Structures are given as C-alpha cells and as structure tokens.
Amino acid sequence: MDVQFILLIIGLILAFIMAMNLGGNDAANPTSTTVGTGILSLRRALLLFAIFATAGAALQGFMVMTTIGRGIVPAIDVAGAVAIMLAANIWIFTATLRGMAISTTHSIIGAVVGYGILKYMLSGMNLSVLGTVVLSWITSPLCSLVLAFLVYKWIKSYVSKYTGKPETIDRFFKVLLIGSLCLAAYSFGANDVANATGVYITIASDLGRMPDTTAMLVLALFGAAGIIAGGLMFGPRVIETLAFKVTHLDLNTALSASISNALVVYIFTTVPYMLWGYGLPVSTSYAVVGSIIGAGLARNVRSVSRAVSVKLVSYWLLTIPINILLAMGIYYAFMLLNWTA
C-alpha cells in the first residue's frame, strides 16, 4: 500500500482525535453556566452546543483554516500534516497528564512553524501573517479581560435597577445565559475547527480535485463531527465539574466571562479575515482565562491569584518551542525515511 495514503489515513485519524479532544474539553466553556443554574438541562445545553458549533464551523471555519493551511506556509504536504498533528497530539496529551494548562491553537501553530522551517525555511514562510497571529495571542486575552470587566459592571448596574422585580432579573439572566451559550459555541466552531483540519486544505483540494471552498467546507464538517462526538462523549463530565463542583465564580462573574469570551473569539475570527483575508487562530481557552480575570477584577481585585496567572503564562510560553521542535523532529524522520515525496 502507498506510504502517502497510509500517512493520510493516520493523519485524518489524528485530526479527528484532536477534534474530539476539543469538543470534550471545551464544550464546558459555553454550557456550564446554563447547566449549573438550572436554566437548561445537560442534554439541551449539549444540543445547542452541537448545533451552533457546527454552524460556526460550516459558515466561518474557512476563515481560520485558510490561515493555518496556507497563510503561514505556502502549502502543507501529507507527511507534514501528519507531523504537525502528531506533534500537537503528543504535547497536548503529555501536558494534560501533567495537569498543565496549554492551548491547542498554540500547539498547532507551533507545529506548523516547525514544519515550515524544515520545508520552506524562514525565508519561504509568510512571517507577516505569523507575526499577526502571535500578536493576537497577546491581545485576545487582554481584550477579553477589559470587555469582561465592562460587562460585569454593566450587568451589576442593570440588576441594581431592578432589585424589586425578580421576574425581570430572572428573564434577563436566562436570555443572556442562553444567548452567550449559542454565541460562544458558534465562535468556538468558527475558530477552533481549524486546529483539527486546517492543515489538510491543500491535500483535500488536490486529492478530491475540488475547489478550495468545497474542500474547506468538507473539512469543517469533518472537524465539527469530531467536536460534537467529543462533546457528547466526554463533555458531560467536564460540564458537571464546572457547573456543580467549582464555586469560586458567582453568576455575574461567570456570565460576564462567557459573553466576553464569545465576542472576542468571534471578532478575532471575523474582522481580520474581512480586512486581510486571514482569520486569526486565537486560543479560546486563554480568552476564557482573560475574561475570568477581568470579571474577577471587577468583582474584587484581591480575588485574582497572581501565582496562578504567572503559572498559566509560563505554560503558554513553553507550548510554542516544544511543538516547533517536535514537528521538526518528526518531519525530519519522515525525510530520512523518504516519506515526504
């Protein structure tokens, strides 16, 4: 059997596993507040997550897939796609076992850079796009922080005006919570489906002899299927943990963080694509961290742990170089075996 075909199958399996990991872990981000407050059952919350994450992947997933598949490097071959996915999966799995908070997005981009250095060298890569992506990693958590701070103050101000009308307040929170779930799931699908499938744009177009738009839609739906499978299979355990076992966030803080995270991820996906043709792959997990810190600051400055924040940042910085080296090592091994043709 042809080596390239075998590598392609292995790579697609790794991509589906990556998508399942995304769905299993991140389904809790938009759904935990609605489940924890009893506004929606776990089943209905997951159903909304599935619908809107799929919609985001299908309608706007191509925006970030373009950046990962052809924005940073000219193209990615079959062996390169496998090296990238294998490197990212190894690091994510290792970090998870060690309890490290790392980003799937940063892992994939780091692996793409490692592949690009070997395949095209730095001179053959689009460093301006890469620079913009790296800048977005810094600005997106900061934007989430500021927006969550403002949203928290606005919610608190609204609630204070209707303290004598509990029904109005309840309706207000229900609408916002369900709306934030839908928007967060949509934004997540639009931005993060590229982490699992963006490296296969060129391969899908060449093998299927289809235009890029069709190839990206097929890949987006493939990734969405993995996300939904992971969300349905592994999501409930994580959702129940965040919804019922974590008590350090009050309703206002959780809601402010959810809305801010959803808006920032959507904006970073959509606006750069409209301006430059490349949606920015931001870390939804780090955007959540930024929004939680912002809402926490609005609630009480002393409630934010500096030690935890510093530890998280150190994990973020470590992810990039490790994935660069892993992808380079794996792709170099493929070159020695003459599997890169």
Grouping H, G, I as helix, E, B as strand and the rest as coil, residue 102 is: coil
pLDDT on residue 119: 94
Question: Do residues 114 and 326 touch, judged by C-beta distance below 8 A?
Answer: yes
Q: If you write DSSP's letter for every residue of 260-302 in order, what string do you get?
A: HHHHHHHHHHHHHHHHHS------HHHHHHHHHHHHHHHH-GG
pLDDT on residue 312: 60
Q: Specify the higher pLDDT residue, 29 or 220.
A: 220
Cα–Cα distance, 188 to 296 (Å, whole number): 23
- How confident is residue 294, by pLDDT bands cut at 50, 70 and 90? confident
Angstrom CA distances, 59 to 197, 204, 336, stand at 15, 18, 40
Q: Specify the higher pLDDT residue, 22 or 99.
A: 22
Q: pLDDT tens, 167-209?
A: 888 888 889 889 999 999 999 999 999 999 999 988 887 776 6
Token pair of 141, please? 């958590």
Cα–Cα distance, 156 to 195 (Å, whole number): 36
Q: pLDDT tens, 311-333?
A: 666 777 888 999 999 999 999 99
Cα–Cα distance, 79 to 263 (Å, whole number): 36
pLDDT on residue 32: 77
Nearest CA to 102 out of 195, 170, 217 is that of: 195
Grouping H, G, I as helix, E, B as strand and the rest as coil, residue 248 is: coil
Question: Do residues 138 and 317 touch, judged by C-beta distance below 8 A?
Answer: no
